[in-house]
Amino acid sequence: MASGDSLLTFEAARGIPPNSTAAATRDRRGDDGHFVYSFNASTDSSLDFTDVMPRQYAGTTGVTLVIIYMMASATTGGVALDGQFELHDEAGHDMDNSGFAAVNTVTDTVPGTAGQLGYVELTFTDGADMDSVAAGDHFRFRITRDPDHASDTASGALQCVSIEMRET
């Protein structure tokens, strides 16, 4: 697989709110009711996605997650997003407990118009950064808005539209 090729796409509708009070909330946006998940501007809120890493993943450089979002109302400021992987390997991970790898953070300046799409890339190197997820492995990915981060200055909810996973 060539660098930059798309591996997976996670539409917001595939998101699974974590079993906690810090979960992103389901929402609809626009005249046609585009499905999104809203991430709070005042407290951490998260959303999980699960899948199997495609067999064509070479596993040598890592992945880049392109997070496609819009803001509910903000037209200025920035946002901070945290991402982390959790490997679900055979006879390894206890599915009753979370076991995420370290957090990677990305910041972005919000689009100048509420409802306009923003694209931000969050990169993970192969190995421990991705919790050693390899081709054919079941995994979970968590995205969290981090309003405590110094760069997260935008008011109102961030609304996740979809996430594309590319091989780096």
CA nearest to 69, candidates 12, 15, 119: 119
- DSSP code for 14: G
pLDDT at 95 over 80: no
Q: How far apart are CA 88 and CA 136, in angstroms?
A: 11
The pLDDT confidence band at residue 56, using thresholds 50, 70 and 90, is very high
pLDDT at 2 over 90: no
The pLDDT confidence band at residue 55, using thresholds 50, 70 and 90, is very high
The per-residue pLDDT for 4 is 72
pTM: 0.93
Domains of the chain: 6-167 (2.60.120.260)
Which residues contact residue 33 at a Cβ distance below 8 angstroms, ignoring those fewer than 6 apart?
none
Percent of the chain clearing pLDDT 70 (strictly above): 97
Task: Give the residue, 96 or 80, on which the prediction is more confident.
Answer: 80
On average, the pLDDT of the chain sits at 93
The per-residue pLDDT for 91 is 73
Strand order through the sheet with 78-88: 45-52, 138-145, 78-88, 104-109
CA nearest to 84, candidates 63, 103, 64: 103
Q: How far apart are CA 111 and CA 95, in angstroms?
A: 38
Q: What is the mean pLDDT of residues 149-160?
A: 97
CA nearest to 100, candidates 58, 147, 139, 53: 139
The per-residue pLDDT for 89 is 85
The pLDDT confidence band at residue 31, using thresholds 50, 70 and 90, is confident
Question: Backbone phi, then psi, for 128, in 5-degree steps?
Answer: -60, -35
Q: In this structure, are residues 122 and 74 in contact, taking their beta carbons and an 8 Å threshold?
A: no
Q: What is the mean pLDDT of residues 22-43?
A: 92
pLDDT at 153 over 90: yes
pLDDT at 62 over 70: yes
Q: What is the mean pLDDT of residues 41-68?
A: 95
